[in-house]
Chains A and B, each alone.
Chain A
Amino acid sequence: MKHIQVVISGKLQQTAKTGGCGSCQSSCQSACKTSCTVGNQACEK
């Protein structure tokens, strides 16, 4: 393609079926605990 280049092919919607085991670390959203995003949590699978 001339104008657009795919860098990362995401499949987030599919994880609605495959994810949700709940084994991952809790992700505090408050500043004092240094975890304001869940996007950076690691998956345990």
Chain B
Amino acid sequence: MQNITANELAKIHWFAVPDGFLLLDINSGSVLRIDEDTANCLERLQAGEQPLADDAEILAELAELKQQGLLFSDDAYQDKYEPPAPVLKSLCLNVCHDCDLRCRYCFASTGSFGGKRARMSFEVGAAALDYLLEHSGKRRFLEVDFFGGEPLLNINVVKQLVAYGREREKEYGKTLRFTFTTNCVGLTPEISAWAEAENVSVVLSHDGRPEVHDRQRVFANDKGSYQLVTEHIKQFLAQNSRGNAIVRGTYTAFNKDFCEDIKHWLDLGFPRLSMEPAVELDGERCLHESDLPQLKEEYWKLAKLFEQRRVDGQPFEFFHFKLDLKHGPCLPKRLTGCGAGYEYLVVTPEGELYPCHQFVGREGFKMGDLADGITEHGQKLSEQFRQAHVYNKKSCRVCWARFFCSGGCHANAELFHHDIMQPYELGCQISQMRLECAIWLAVKEVEQCS
């Protein structure tokens, strides 16, 4: 009877789903349905036990699938991956280091990033767009995200920069794609109409149920922002025929039942959604490993709701369940990840450059500025980020999710471990549970289509 080696077992990941078991072939991306006998057989083998006589049929099927290249596939790059050369393709412009909310979980120290409250001038923003166009090589599609703080506090400069970018992109034969991320306090009908006309994508922050939202997302006087923000999002979405806006929320230890917040969004008529865990070192909002069983249950509750609504003809989008297993991104993209520090940079109101928005103000992570470019220290940082891919991270090399998450967020790794090579474990575990839900939903969609 043919057996399976430990090396082969390390190339697959199987897991329980509401209607059985699924198996992911990590290196090819193939997904298979397996029955309970197969799951039990694989579990025995993984525990180092010998297969049972009854397992012969299962082992023969596994061997046949291996022959077909659908199982136990080899990694195309192992030990020979070289990241792409640094070419800028995306800039985050922190157009305003200030905010009209005082969200309690804000990573940016309620907008100031631990520094002085400031707004970017048009001149600095224009220089940033020029820098992006100049340093983007042959990349045709470039992204610019207006961020903060709250970018709408500097909306006149944002509008000027979009107009400036539209002119400059023609000279370079490139396309700039603009986005802004807003707390929606200042989201007027006029701004909504402008965003729609200019095809600017928008990320709208909202936390769900009134009591959940108002607990965290408060004004300087401690008053909750739910009522105002909800009305503004409704009016915005009523004008958003392009479908390029997403409502995103943050859940904390106070609302581990975040599926209820998503149901609330659906009741409000919000169709494109994302809900993310707050990332904090400690405190009452902080999520802990002991929360994982409940979070896993919650994600599965959400996945079942997602599936039921799709079957009922009332679908919605949930960012982390969007997974195209047939035509998803290529392997090089999956290894590049966010590209922070070498494909993606953030510009502060003063024109300083950092690897990403999360690193702004963190000691030792300034890479240079628009006037003088990347410093020698910045170039070293850039190379460190470029080499921070899954093959160089010990825990990622053996993780089944490595081609989906690209090794996680560098900023979270640095926050928790002071080392971008050591991922934030809780974030990894949450990513894995979301991915299992997403893979199941992708399988259900394929099965329904066929």
Question: Residues on A close to B: CB < 8 A?
Answer: 1-16, 18-20, 22-44
- B420-450 vs A, CB cutoff 8 Å, 1 = contact: the mask equals 0000000100010011001000110011000
- Please give, as numbers and ranges, the residues of chain B lying within 8 Å of A39 by CB-CB distance: 323, 328-329, 334, 403-405, 435, 438
Contact B250 A31 (CB under 8 A): yes
Please name the residue on chain B nearest to A44 by beta carbon.
B141
Contact B337 A22 (CB under 8 A): no
A3-B34, A11-B29, A38-B406 in contact; A32/B107 too (CB < 8 A)? Answer: yes
A-B contact sample (9 more), CB < 8 A, given A36-B431, A39-B438: A4-B32, A7-B22, A7-B443, A10-B28, A19-B330, A30-B338, A40-B320, A40-B322, A40-B438
Contact B358 A30 (CB under 8 A): yes
Could you show 20 A-B contacts with beta carbons less than 8 Å apart?
Answer: A3-B35, A4-B23, A6-B30, A8-B446, A12-B29, A13-B28, A13-B73, A13-B74, A14-B76, A15-B332, A19-B329, A20-B333, A22-B89, A24-B329, A29-B405, A33-B203, A36-B276, A39-B323, A40-B438, A41-B333
- Please give, as numbers and ranges, the residues of chain B lying within 8 Å of A43 by CB-CB distance: 327-330, 333
Q: From residue B142, how far is it (CB to closest CB) to chain A in Å?
A: 9
Question: Residues on B close to A: CB < 8 A?
Answer: 22-23, 25, 27-35, 37-38, 57-58, 61-62, 64-65, 70, 73-77, 84, 87, 89-90, 107, 139-141, 143, 145, 177, 181, 203, 246, 248, 250, 274, 276-279, 319-320, 322-334, 336-340, 343-344, 356-358, 403-412, 427, 431, 434-435, 438, 442-443, 446-447
By DSSP majority rule, is chain A's interface helix, strand, loop, or mixed? loop
Question: Would you list the 4 A-B pairs with minimal beta carbon distance, nearest first?
Answer: A19-B330, A10-B29, A20-B332, A15-B330
A34 to B236, CA, bound (A): 19
Contact B443 A31 (CB under 8 A): no
Contact B331 A12 (CB under 8 A): yes
Q: From residue A45, how far is it (CB to closest CB) to chain B in Å?
A: 8
Please name the residue on chain A nearest to B24 by beta carbon.
A10
Contact B431 A26 (CB under 8 A): no
Contact A40 B277 (CB under 8 A): no
- Please give, as numbers and ranges, the residues of chain B lying within 8 Å of A33 by CB-CB distance: 145, 181, 203, 357
Q: From residue B422, how far is it (CB to closest CB) to chain A in Å?
A: 14
| Contact partner, A37, options B58, B248, B405, Cβ 8 Å | B405
Q: From residue B204, how far is it (CB to closest CB) to chain A in Å?
A: 10
A21 to B77, CA, bound (A): 17
- Please give, as numbers and ranges, the residues of chain B lying within 8 Å of A12 by CB-CB distance: 27-29, 76, 330-331, 334, 403
Q: From residue A20, how far is it (CB to closest CB) to chain B in Å?
A: 3
